[in-house]
Amino acid sequence: MNTEKRAIIINEIYQWRSNKLLPETYCDFLLALYTEGNQKDKESQSHKKRNLPISTYWVLYGLLFSFFSLMLLIVYFTELPFVLQMTIVGFSLLFSIAVTAYFIGKRAFFQVPLTVLLIQLLILSLNLTEFYTYGDTRWIGGMIVANCLLWIFIGAVYRLLYLFISGISGFLIFVASIIF
């Protein structure tokens, strides 16, 4: 068989494998057949091209925690005007959304950015609620319940047990604080 045609077929088999169009064993068999048993070398080369270096992930994690720390510092330890504080928190939240979406898209370890995003969303929503309702506890309680329900929903969708349990725990603690 012509080497050009063979290369096209091998690339198609790799695409089938990555998109799960064929079972893994079928792809392994076809690759062994067309590469004459040398598919391990080509497979490792194709994975090196597709995956980002580990340092990129660490840089994104570092930036994420830097923005999160800056947000906490600005919200709780400065005397900046409220609008400026919320603008900075909003940009930090947008960056967290982008990083979380990036990690989910790459199917990488997205739990840490998602957790940071949800904590930022909780802080932002509570600060905005407190500011606009002048500290009315019913509205603040409603916002806590809304955040807990969001955590439960996201925990169920992504099958994240810790997030699901955190949402249920927060909701139960809120209900217990109302009853007692």
**Contacts of the segment 92-95: beta carbons below 8 A, 24+ positions apart:** 92/67, 92/68, 92/120, 93/117, 93/120, 93/121, 93/124, 95/63, 95/64, 95/67
CA–CA gap between residue 137 and residue 40 (Å, rounded): 61
Cα distance between residue 30 and residue 38, in whole Å: 12
pLDDT-wise least confident of 18-32, 90-104, 121-135, 156-170: 18-32
For residue range 77-117, what is the model confidence (pLDDT) as tens digits?
888 898 888 898 889 999 999 999 988 888 778 888 888 99
Q: Which of 5-14, 35-44, 69-78 shows the lowest mean pLDDT across its residues? A: 35-44
pLDDT in tens, 34-62: 887 676 544 444 444 455 566 778 888 88
Q: How far is CA 54 from CA 17, 61, 130, in A?
A: 23, 11, 41
- Quote the mean pLDDT of the chain: 84
pTM: 0.66
